[in-house]
A = this chain, B = another copy of it.
């Protein structure tokens, strides 16, 4: 993983995050322990606790580490044509290479714990607020240029996130066609509700 994508993580932090990824892949979220992370890290649990007091603290850092990668794919670029930019964003959010897929399985396990864990819940909110802002900006630009209808941009942005999220959540759980269903649904929705209709 490129260092530049995680400027706030030291080498030791990064190694612990990668060890956590491997431990989660092998044991799943429900059976994750500091001991198992330490085994993957090749050091003692004390070496982990030197960096992270609690498992919750480590998991919050783990989310930051991976969500910053996801956020990096959704960046605002203000000089593109809003229509093609919106479809590009959609494609970026609905592509799931195999490496990403393993993280998604873990992500949704962690999110299912969000009702019990305020720190995780805050992390998900922050990450999502950034994506929503980017989407809303593109939609507002499209309305301004006349490419889009006079839609409620906040609602459309939330609807797109819901489709992307539903598609990922289903694709990791049990529905192999969910990403393709989500892509097609999102295109139909944007084409018939969001784009300016020629009279």
- A residues apposed to B, CB below 8 Å: 28-30, 105, 108-109, 111-116, 121, 124-125, 155, 158-159, 162-163, 165-167, 169-170, 172-174, 177-178, 181-182, 184-185, 188-189, 192-193
| CA A28 to CA B159, docked complex, whole Å | 29
Given known pairs A163-B162, A185-B159, A193-B192, the reply for A174 and B124 (CB within 8 Å) is yes
Secondary structure at the A interface, as helix, strand, loop or mixed, is helix
B163 lies within 8 A of A177 (CB): no
**Contact with A178, one of B30, B113, B162, B192 (Cβ below 8 angstroms):** B162
B188 lies within 8 A of A111 (CB): no
**A38: min CB distance to chain B, Å:** 19
B158 lies within 8 A of A169 (CB): no
A29 lies within 8 A of B112 (CB): yes
B185 lies within 8 A of A124 (CB): no
**Contact with A113, one of B30, B121, B125 (Cβ below 8 angstroms):** B30
A163 lies within 8 A of B163 (CB): yes
9 contacts between A and B (CB under 8 A): A108-B112, A114-B174, A155-B184, A159-B181, A159-B185, A162-B163, A166-B167, A185-B189, A188-B189
Most buried by B among A162, A173, A182: A162
| CA A174 to CA B163, docked complex, whole Å | 16
Known: A28-B116, A165-B166. 11 other contacts (CB 8 A): A111-B173, A121-B174, A158-B177, A159-B181, A162-B166, A165-B169, A166-B169, A169-B169, A185-B189, A189-B189, A189-B193
| CA A181 to CA B156, docked complex, whole Å | 9
| CA A156 to CA B115, docked complex, whole Å | 31
**Contact with A173, one of B124, B155, B181 (Cβ below 8 angstroms):** B124
| CA A173 to CA B166, docked complex, whole Å | 12
**Contact with A162, one of B109, B116, B167, B174 (Cβ below 8 angstroms):** B167
